Amino acid sequence: MDLELKQQFEKLDQRLDKTDGKLDRMEKFITENLVTKQELSELTEKVTTLTESVNKLTTAVDNLAKRINDFDKEHAVLKHQVSAIQDWIREASKKVGIEFKL
């Protein structure tokens, strides 16, 4: 009976060793692959900061694009005005007999 009990304990010991190995692997996996609440909170803060930065950059680019668009419109108006003035000067110079050179 002692021998039989000893064998059962040895089998139980072997099964516990296997279970310990599996638990060790699970613990290692969890430690390596899962994040803590603190790590998740830090990541969330970083994402929030990056999102704010992207929003500020987007606003700055939009403002710059508007200024360029406004400048282009103003440039077109001024170009037209200068062209009209040049045409007037050409006509006036013909009438007064002075050559218009540009």
More confident call, 2 vs 74: 74
pLDDT tens for 45-95 read 999 999 999 999 999 999 999 999 999 999 999 999 999 999 999 999 999
**Residue ranges of domains in the chain:** 1-34, 36-102
Helix runs in the chain, H state only:
2-33, 37-96
Residues in the chain: 102
- Measured between alpha carbons, how far is 33 from 27 in angstroms, rounded to an integer? 10
Q: What is the pLDDT of residue 29?
A: 92
For residue 51, what are the CA distances in angstroms to 14, 57, 60, 61, 69? 54, 10, 14, 15, 27
For residue 101, what are the CA distances in angstroms to 61, 76, 95? 42, 23, 15
Q: What is the pLDDT of residue 1?
A: 63
